[in-house]
């Protein structure tokens, strides 16, 4: 049984069934999520027989670290799952803090035409413990405490709702990683039913919500994000406008700027119209496209990025330009793919990894 998928209540219950006092569960959680100790032998406030029994019943890990690729502003970690898939996690160095970009699925079924993760389709959902483990593993390898998490790695988090919810609960609970809800961001391509579910879910609606908009026009969005057919843009906007937000919180609209596709001033003007009078509810993140050798899209020049931003600013809409980090490590946050083989070839090292 993997301990990283238990919440406090479940663990207290389980530990009691094993003949231990329930408060032992709190001691274990404290070791794991406050000290990042994942070996029962080191849990010195538990008796030796208890430690031995617990290590027979519980495991902590199911991922195997395969590679770590540092760059100036990010470190990319590659993990292998028990069933042989590779997933990626990116630690991003921001100016004054660290942000961890976690994967929620192996691949993705949503099929956005510009996204490398879509190329392999969906292999499977990640379990809650596999999501939490990405955090623990990277934290154990990092001196500074990681306090921000974004679900912007591989996968569509809302298509794996239950496991993502469970992982989020470990992340924000005081007995768990105890991250501020404001520092956990779930990014979605805009699955309307799942957004409705999220809006009724007290835990999930209190974390940050980011929605990948990528075009203010239904037609074009349908082309680059085919889920728009079943999740129409107008309906998506209506759900977002009604979404119950905590005070002072805004929804982030992510807009990947792709040269000649959605980066025209007219697109910016259309975006202004789409947001309309709800400019206080939204902020826009403009992300210049990260080109991928397997995809026919490119990044606009900086001038058009600024021009786009200016239109939004001119209409009092807050818009930041966010360069996707870790570009040099061949695959950035939000642009991940099961491509270790390629990288191994490039570096001429490493053992073969079946994927």
Binding characters for ligand SF4, 138-177, by CB under 6 A (x = yes): -----------------xx---------------------
Q: Which is nearer to ligand SAH, 128 or 287 (CB)?
A: 287
Using CA atoms, how far residue 283 sits from 71, 97, 106, 334, in Å, is 29, 21, 29, 19
Q: Is 88 a catalytic residue?
A: yes
Stretch that binds ligand SAH, among 124-132, 199-207, 233-241, 283-291 (CB under 6 A): 283-291
Using the rule CB under 6 A, is 75 a contact of ligand SF4?
no
86: which 2 tokens?
Answer: 């590779």
305 binds ligand SF4 (CB under 6 A): no
Distances (CA, A) of 128 to 168, 278, 296, 310, 318: 9, 35, 34, 41, 34
Q: Given the rule CB under 6 A, which of 16-24, 27-35, 50-58, 109-117 is the region that contacts ligand SF4? A: 109-117
The mark string for 12-41 relative to ligand SAH (x by CB under 6 A, - otherwise) is: ------------------------------
Are 334 and 324 spatial neighbours (Cβ–Cβ below 8 Å)?
yes
Considering the rule CB under 6 A, would residue 324 count as an interface residue with ligand SF4?
no
Please state the closest distance from residue 340 (CB atom) to ligand SAH, in A. Answer: 18
- CA 109/CA 122 separation, integer angstroms: 5
CA 28 to each of CA 31, 39, 167, 170: distance values in angstroms, whole numbers, following the listed order: 5, 10, 18, 14
DSSP state of 162: H
The region, left, alpha or beta by phi > 0 then psi within -120 to 50, assigned to residue 269 is alpha
Please give the sequence-ordered ranges of beta strands (E in DSSP) within 1-113, or none if there are none. 64-70, 74-80, 86-93, 98-101, 105-107
Shortest reach from residue 212's CB to ligand SF4, in Å: 6
Closer CB to ligand SAH, residue 4 or residue 102?
102
Which one of ligand SAH, ligand SF4, none interacts with residue 290, CB within 5 to 8 A by kind?
Answer: ligand SAH
Catalytic residue among 108, 112, 115, 333: 333
| Smaller CB separation from ligand SAH, 212 or 304 | 212
- CB 134 → ligand SAH: shortest distance, Å? 14
User: ∠ CA(276), CA(280), CA(281), 5° rounding?
Assistant: 85
In the stretch 147-166, what mask flags binding to ligand SAH with x, by CB under 6 A? -----x---x----------
Q: Which of 88, 127, 133, 254 is catalytic?
A: 88
Contact track, ligand SAH, 179-218, x by CB under 6 A: --------xxx----------------------x-x----
Among residues 142, 161, 143, the alpha carbon closest in space to that of 151 is found at 161
Q: Which stretch binds ligand SF4 (CB under 6 A): 80-88, 105-113, 297-305, 309-317?
A: 105-113
Token pair in block for residue 96: 């004054």
DSSP 279-323: TTTEEEEEEE----TTSS--PPPHHHHHHHHHHHHHTT--EEE-P
Q: Is 132 in the site for ligand SF4 (CB under 6 A)?
A: no
Task: Indicate the angle between helix axes 128-140 and 161-172, nearest 10 degrees.
Answer: 40
- The torsion defined by the Cα of 152, 154, 157 and 161, in degrees rounded to 10, comes to -150
Element (H, E) at 256: strand 251-257
According to the binding rule CB under 6 A, does residue 290 interact with ligand SAH?
yes
What is the contact surface with ligand SF4 in residues (CB under 6 A)? 108, 110-112, 115, 117-118, 155-156, 189, 212
Q: Which residue numbers are catalytic?
A: 88, 333
What is the contact surface with ligand SAH in residues (CB under 6 A)? 114-115, 152, 156, 187-189, 212, 214, 254, 256, 287, 289-290, 292, 324, 334-335
């Amino acid at each position: 049984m993997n301990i990283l998928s238990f919440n406090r209540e479940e663990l207290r219950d389980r530990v009691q069934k094993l003949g231990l006092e329930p408060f032992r569960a709190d001691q274990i959680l404290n070791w794991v999520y406050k000290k990042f100790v994942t070996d029962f032998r080191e849990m010195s406030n538990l008796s030796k027989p208890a430690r031995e029994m617990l290590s027979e019943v519980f495991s902590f890990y199911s991922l195997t670290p395969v590679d770590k690729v540092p760059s100036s502003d990010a470190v990319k970690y590659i993990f292998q799952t028990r069933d042989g898939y590779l997933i990626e996690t990116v630690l991003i160095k921001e100016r004054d803090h660290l942000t961890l970009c976690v994967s929620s699925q192996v691949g993705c079924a949503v099929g956005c035409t510009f996204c490398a993760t879509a190329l392999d389709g969906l292999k499977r959902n990640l379990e809650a413990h596999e999501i939490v483990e990405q955090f623990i593993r990277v934290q154990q390898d990092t001196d500074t405490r990681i306090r921000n998490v974004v679900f912007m790695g591989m996968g569509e988090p809302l298509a794996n709702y239950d496991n993502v919810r469970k992982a989020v609960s470990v992340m924000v609970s005081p007995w768990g990683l105890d991250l501020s809800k404001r520092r956990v961001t779930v990014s979605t391509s805009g699955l309307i039913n799942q957004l409705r579910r999220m809006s009724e879910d007290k835990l999930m609606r209190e974390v940050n919500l980011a929605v990948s908009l990528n075009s203010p026009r239904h037609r074009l969005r349908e082309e680059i994000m085919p889920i728009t057919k079943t999740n129409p843009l107008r309906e998506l906007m209506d759900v977002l406008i009604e979404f119950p937000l905590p005070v002072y919180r805004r929804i982030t609209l992510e807009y990947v700027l792709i040269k000649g596709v959605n980066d025209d001033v007219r697109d910016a003007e259309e975006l202004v119209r789409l947001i309309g009078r709800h400019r206080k509810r939204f902020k826009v993140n403009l992300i210049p496209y990260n080109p991928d050798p397997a995809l026919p899209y490119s990044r606009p020049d900086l001038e058009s990025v600024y021009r786009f931003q200016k239109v939004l600013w001119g209409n009092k809409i807050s818009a930041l330009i966010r360069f996707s980090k870790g570009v040099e490590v061949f695959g950035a946050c939000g642009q991940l793919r099961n491509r270790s083989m390629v990288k191994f070839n490039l570096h001429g090292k490493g053992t073969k990894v079946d994927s």
